[in-house]
Amino acid sequence: MDDTTGIRKSNTRYQSDVIVDMIKLYDFPYIPLNPGASYRGLHDSLVNYGENDPPMLLCNHEKIAVQIAHGYAKAIGKPLAAAVHNVVGLLHAPLAVYYAYIDRCPVFLIGATGPMDEALRRPFIDWIHTAFAQGSAVRDFTKWDYQPGSVHGIPDSFARAYSIMMTEPQGPVYMVYDAGIQEAELTEEIPIPPKSAVRVPPRLAADQKLIEEAADMICAADYPVLLTEYAARAPIGFEPTVALAEAAGSPVFDINKRLGFPNKHPLSVSGHGDAFKGADLVVALDVVDWTRGSHKPNWETRRVEPVVTPDCKWIDIGFADIEISKWATDYNKHHNWDMRILADTTNAIPALTEAVKVRAVKDPALSRRIEERKQAVAAKHDAQWAKWQQQVKDEWDLMPMRESRMAAEVWEAIRNEDWVLSAGTLKDWTNKVWDFDKPHRHPGRELGTATQIGMSMGVALAYKGTGKIVVDLQPDGDLMFDLGALWMAKKYDIPFLVIMYNNRAYYNDWAHQITMAKKRGTDVARAYIGMDLEGPEPDFAHIAKGLDWYAEGPIFDPKDIQPAVKRAIEQVKKGQPALVDVITWRRGEAS
DSSP string, 398-431: -SSPPHHHHHHHHHHHHTTS-EEE-S--TTTHHH
395-583: CATH class: alpha beta
Q: Is the pLDDT of residue 238 over 50?
A: yes
Mean pLDDT of 218-243: 96
Mean pLDDT of 15-31: 98
- Residue 99 CB-density burial (10 A; 0-12 exposed, 13-18 middle, 19+ buried): buried
Q: Which one of 3.10.180.10, 3.40.50.1220, 1.10.10.10, 3.30.70.920 gives the CATH number of domain 208-383?
A: 3.40.50.1220
Interval 318-328: pLDDT, tens: 998 887 888 88
Cis peptide before 310 (omega within 30 of 0): no
Q: Give the whole-angstrom CA distance, residue 260 versus residue 284.
A: 12
3-state secondary structure of 433: helix
Q: Give the whole-angstrom CA distance, residue 536 versus residue 394.
A: 33
CATH 3.40.50.1220 domain extents, the chain: 208-383
Confidence of residue 20 (pLDDT cuts 50, 70, 90): very high
- Residue 300 CB-density burial (10 A; 0-12 exposed, 13-18 middle, 19+ buried): exposed
For the domain made up of 16-183, give the CATH fold. Answer: Rossmann fold (3.40.50)
Confidence of residue 300 (pLDDT cuts 50, 70, 90): confident
**CA-closest candidate to residue 126, choices 143, 113, 137, 107:** 113
Share of the chain above pLDDT 70, in %: 98
Q: Is the pLDDT of residue 118 over 80?
A: yes
Cα–Cα distances in angstroms (integers) from residue 229 to residues 241, 257, 293, 295, 438, in the given order: 11, 6, 12, 15, 16
pLDDT for residue 587: 63
pLDDT for residue 106: 98
Whole-structure pTM value: 0.95
Average predicted confidence (pLDDT) for the chain: 94
Q: Is the pLDDT of residue 352 over 50?
A: yes
CATH 3.40.50.970 domain extents, the chain: 16-183, 395-583
Other beta carbons less than 10 A from residue 246's beta carbon: 18
Q: Vertex 400, ends 397 and 406: CA angle to 5°?
A: 70
Are 467 and 441 a contacting pair, CB within 8 Å? no
Q: Is the pLDDT of residue 411 over 50?
A: yes
Over the Cα atoms of the chain, what is R_g?
A: 26
Higher pLDDT among residues 530 and 415, named by residue:
415
Q: Give the whole-angstrom CA distance, residue 222 versus residue 458.
A: 43
pLDDT for residue 298: 79
Q: Is the pLDDT of residue 591 over 50?
A: no
The β-bridge relationship of strands 224-228 and 252-254 is: parallel
pLDDT for residue 320: 85
Q: Which of 74-88, 291-305, 526-540 has the lowest mean pLDDT?
A: 291-305
Higher pLDDT among residues 175 and 114, named by residue:
175
Are 248 and 370 a contacting pair, CB within 8 Å? yes
Are 199 and 231 a contacting pair, CB within 8 Å? no
